[in-house]
Amino acid sequence: MSSATPTPGRSSPPRLSRLVTGGGHRVYTLNVQAFVGLRVNVFVLLTGPAERPDYCALIDCGSPQPVSTASLNALHLLRAQYGEQCGWETLDRIVVTHAHPDHAGGLPHVRSLSRAPVAAHEWGVPILEDPHAFREETRGPLRAYAAWLGVPEGSEYAARLENRANNLMLPSGVPVRTTLRHGDLLDGLLQVWHTPGHAGSQVCLQFDDVLLSADHLLPRNSPPLLPAWLHRGGGLHTYLKSLNVIEGLSGVRVALGGHDEPMPAWRARIAELRARYETKLENVLAAADEPSSVYDLTHRVARVNPRQALLLLDQTAALCEELVRRGALREMPGAGGEATFQRV
């Protein structure tokens, strides 16, 4: 869900649940611990009879941490508890919804267990295939971003932003066999919807009457955002446009996000998120009565939880960018090289 510096976690057992689509296909959710304080949903999709499935796909791979990769061994529970003859050796497909550590970080581990072809959106392919090159390409912009935010030099924030610049999205590259684009029908079963905003490479997948909404639509949280100038396919404006794409879908009974519980009232959740972002925009606008950096505005409008501090900075940056786009804020250079923002 986030691009903040991840923290390894202690062992926490996976949780397995089952949902049957209107057409009789099965969706298994394996909820695993990715990092401390962060669990992620890994999905297994099956069609055909349990004793001899016609199709078996793994959607997302968790993180590279041992606590997460070990939890994927619970795949055997599909056979033990539900009679599904599906395992690493019978997987037909691996899909990465977006190239973030909690969803793609476990891909090299999965590749060591299965030779199933990998699919990902075209913008995510370079990240998945060569994460070290991606890190080198993004280090400079991320360091410029720290200065743009107005983060004090030598602060804990500065150190954590530097750690982010040194992070890998996944430990090693994995070849992607199938490049996904908006509107594709993958394997004749998965309708692909490109939903940038949280991640430029993010896709949602419609499987019969179930929408796998990745981190685009979550039941408890608004997805972390980065400004569009820093992250291709980022920004609040892009995110809201992608919400429109999902809201316009037909035939969806329930949405399953990349974290937390199912969303039967998924359209109501979209309305909640829109309203929440408008409130956040209003709060930032009200706080910008004098030229202020993103760092300063964040501390005025939000209760900063240390674990989520970078995500709140990112969110404020995306909100400021959107308010400038709407003509409500003016962006000006600050004395120390930071950007400052003031109400128009």
What does the pLDDT read at residue 232?
96
Provide the pLDDT confidence category of residue 8 given band limits of 50, 70 and 90: very low
Provide the pLDDT confidence category of residue 15 given band limits of 50, 70 and 90: very high
Q: Pick the residue with more confidence: 244 or 11?
A: 244
Q: Which amino acid is at 154?
A: G
Q: Tell me the pLDDT tens digit for each residue of 123-159.
A: 999 999 999 999 999 999 999 999 999 999 999 899 9
Rounded Cα–Cα distance for residues 43 and 31 (Å): 8
Rounded Cα–Cα distance for residues 28 and 18 (Å): 5
Would you say the pTM of this structure is higher than 0.75? yes
Q: Tell me the pLDDT tens digit for each residue of 191-224.
A: 999 999 999 999 999 999 999 999 999 999 999 9
Q: Tell me the pLDDT tens digit for each residue of 245-304.
A: 999 999 999 999 999 999 999 999 999 999 999 999 999 999 999 999 999 999 999 777
First to last CA, the chain: 33
Q: Tell me the pLDDT tens digit for each residue of 309-321.
A: 899 999 999 999 9
For residue 6, pLDDT beyond 60: no
Q: Tell me the pLDDT tens digit for each residue of 53-81.
A: 999 999 999 999 999 999 998 898 999 99
Let me know if 187 is exposed, middle or buried by CB neighbors in 10 A (0-12, 13-18, 19+): middle
CATH class (in words) of the domain with range 15-279: alpha beta
Q: Where are the domains of the chain?
A: 15-279
* Exposed e or buried b per residue across 280-302, where buried means at least 16 C-beta atoms within 10 angstroms of its C-beta: bbebbbebbeebbbbbbbbbebb
- What is the rounded average pLDDT of the residues 73-92? 93
- For the record, the structure tokens of 298 come out as 């964040």
What does the pLDDT read at residue 11?
59
Provide the pLDDT confidence category of residue 7 given band limits of 50, 70 and 90: very low
Provide the pLDDT confidence category of residue 5 given band limits of 50, 70 and 90: very low
Return the axis-axis angle of helices 294-301 and 266-287, rounded to nearest 10°: 110
